[in-house]
Structure 1
């Protein structure tokens, strides 16, 4: 029932300042502004490729203010979309799952989804803006057993476990799976990463926060342009290879560069390399 990764919601102190930074590094543009009752926030919504990044400023007491007080600026909510919100509601009500509907968005509590705050929006077409193509992954870091989490998500969202792709990394210290929604047509998925130690950065994060939302990933159709933006702005980023000035594939932008958001970036099709379909990776 999930079509794709659609958006992320990011708690910030100053949305205007954050929007300027995201535009500088990712070529995003302000699409609109509104208010969220559920988040207790004024939102500045950025077009980032085909996806949207919501910059949320606290508007009094509520979830956004609580997040900022506890964690500071950073990634607050993972967002996906479906073609039929009402059918999703019926599914959850049949399972006895509590949710909140705020305008045309559905919110699930992180207590339901292993520390992963989730918002579901209705699927819609958007033209691409800037050198980013789309958001395709949000990472649910786990102390819990990833197999149990995968089974719960399959039931909550009508996903097919036969499409999932197991993952693991000694470099980053985790095992888990990618809950791919529609392979090989699209990369969209929730990454379930159960940490294997508390030495690596991901493990330290889980030791502090437990089951949680950690980061997200975008695909870019013009990686040299994004790489140039990062270098020109002296933004801290780690390339996939050894040379940040010439790396052909992508990398990770440090949270300090994007108001608390750890953002992975990969060139077109590269992510199939670790998504069970290496044959789909195009040459540079």
Structure 2
């Protein structure tokens, strides 16, 4: 079991420009720069909310370069999970013959974690972090698949999740159905395993063109009005939600063009 979603990784064409986007819109703080041999990529780490956003720019052939071939504008590459005992977690992976790579205090699990592929996970030791910027925390990523029930069951087995806690999720508005695959007993953070039901909307088109994979992420914020104001100033249409300034929005979406190719759903805290 895991403590929380403690970050995301984005594949980018240019880390510097995407870092500037996150800083300008959400007041993220740049923490460090290095490289990850496993991914053959330059890495820029940003602090936002209680989490980290890792920007990955290709250095040559490898996983990031392959991802950018299919997603030339960049996008959501991996979800970060935390655990209090990283050694115990790797022992569990070894027992299940799940391949992984360890580098710089993280465990990288490639997209062969499930039978449909497309889900990459990086795992690190849990840390209690102060909140930075205009987000509080990430709490969900959406993983598009053909068979949500089967894949949720696989994740329960592979990652030692309690399948009893999973619950059904569906939306006629956005056209999908599937399961909230919770990563711990608190049922606060999850991998939303869903299948698009409408081939004509954005989610359906994404799935048809790219297949199984991470689609977007969700975060909580206590600063919805400020995010709306900044998003509208930066790019008209970048804020997808209530525009009336007298109303504090309960939720909204930030267009991928604002944040380096990833759509971020924001929910009021």
**Aligned-pair RMSD on alpha carbons?**
1.7
**Structure 2 counterparts to residues 130-209 of structure 1, below 5 A:** 130-143=133-146, 145-182=147-184, 184=186, 187-209=188-210
The CA deviation string for residues 140-196 of structure 1, in whole angstroms up to 9 with x for no partner, is 0111x1111111111122211222221001111111111123454x62111111122
2:135–2:221 Cα contact (<8 Å) kept: yes
Aligned to 1:224: 225
Q: Separation in 1 of the partners of 2:111 and 2:156?
A: 16
CA contact (8 A) 2:231 2:239 kept: no
Note the residue ranges of structure 1 that are not aligned, 5 or more in a row. 269-284
Contact 1:235–1:257 (8 Å) recurs in 2: no
**Equivalent position of 1:214 in the other structure:** 215
Shift of 1:250: 2.4
Structure 2 counterpart of 1:118: 121
Q: Aligned in 2, Cα 1:172/1:238: closer, same or farther, shift over 3 Å?
A: farther
Q: How does 1:260-275 map to 2 (within 5 A)?
A: 260-268=261-269
SS in 2 for 1:9: strand
TM-score, normalization by structure 2: 0.92
Equivalent-residue separation in structure 1 for 2:214 and 2:29 (angstroms): 25
Report what 1:21 is aligned to. 21
Separation in 1, partners of 2:109, 2:181: 18
CA distance in 2, matches of 1:50, 1:148: 32
- 1:56 equivalent in structure 2: 56
Contact 2:162/2:185 (<8 A) preserved: no
What is the number of equivalent residue pairs in this alignment? 265
Q: Distance in 2 between matches of 1:7 and 1:117?
A: 12
The aligned counterpart of 1:281 is none
Q: Give deviations 1:80-123, integer Å, cap 9, x for gaps.
A: 11111111111111112111222311111212233111111111
CA contact 1:240–1:249 (8 Å) conserved in 2: no
TM-score (normalizing by structure 1): 0.88
Query: How far has the Cα of 1:21 moved from its partner?
Result: 1.0
Mapped to 2, the partners of 1:135 and 1:260 lie a distance apart of: 17
Q: Which secondary structure state, in structure 2, belongs to the residue aligned with residue 115 of structure 1?
A: coil
